[in-house]
């Protein structure tokens, strides 16, 4: 059985996350599912370099990789993968749909409602508590700035 090392970009822009919807794929269990954009890590490439390259190739999209979020290990019926997700920022929402059927910019509340590819469900589950902590930190910081 094949095993892949892959990366995903969790692109955050103005409090919304970029969610890409696949078209018809080789496997019915991944067809039409949402995913965070990304792909396979090439030999002699860092995971961060893979994120940047994949988004350029698949979407003509430039992102800045901010930090690693989580690695999900998932076993599909026909292959397995280690999927490492990175928080990324972009200065624009402009990109080209080349390999996906559709996309959506979703709020954190909308993320769990989308029909995700199974491996990406692990990213969403890891993201939700992280986002709550991030909001608390930023909320307290803004409150302290306001009081000062």
Q: Count of domains in the chain?
A: 1
- How buried is residue 30: exposed, middle or buried, by Cβ count under 10 Å (0-12/13-18/19+)? middle
For residue 65, the enclosing domain spans 2-147
The C-alpha atoms of residue 92 and residue 62 are separated, in whole angstroms, by: 9
> Which helix or strand (DSSP H or E) is residue 122 part of?
helix 118-147
Below-70 pLDDT ranges, the chain? 132-148
CATH number for the domain spanning 36: value is: 3.90.79.10
pLDDT at 128: 84
**Using CA atoms, how far apart are residues 84 and 51, in angstroms rounded to an integer?**
10
Question: The pTM is what?
Answer: 0.88
């Amino acid at each position: 059985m094949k095993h892949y090392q892959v990366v995903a970009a969790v692109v955050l822009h103005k409090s919304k996350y970029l969610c890409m919807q696949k078209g018809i794929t080789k496997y019915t269990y991944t067809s039409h599912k949402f995913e965070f954009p990304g792909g396979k890590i090439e030999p002699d490439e860092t995971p961060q370099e893979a994120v940047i390259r994949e988004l350029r190739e698949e979407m003509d999209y430039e992102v800045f990789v901010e930090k690693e979020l989580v690695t999900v290990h998932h076993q599909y019926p026909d292959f397995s993968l280690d999927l490492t997700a990175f928080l990324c920022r972009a200065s624009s929402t402009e990109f080209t749909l080349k390999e996906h059927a559709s996309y959506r910019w979703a709020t954190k509340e909308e993320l769990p409602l989308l029909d995700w590819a199974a491996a990406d469900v692990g990213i969403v589950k890891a993201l939700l508590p992280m986002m709550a902590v991030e909001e608390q930190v930023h909320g307290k910081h803004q409150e302290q700035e306001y009081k000062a």
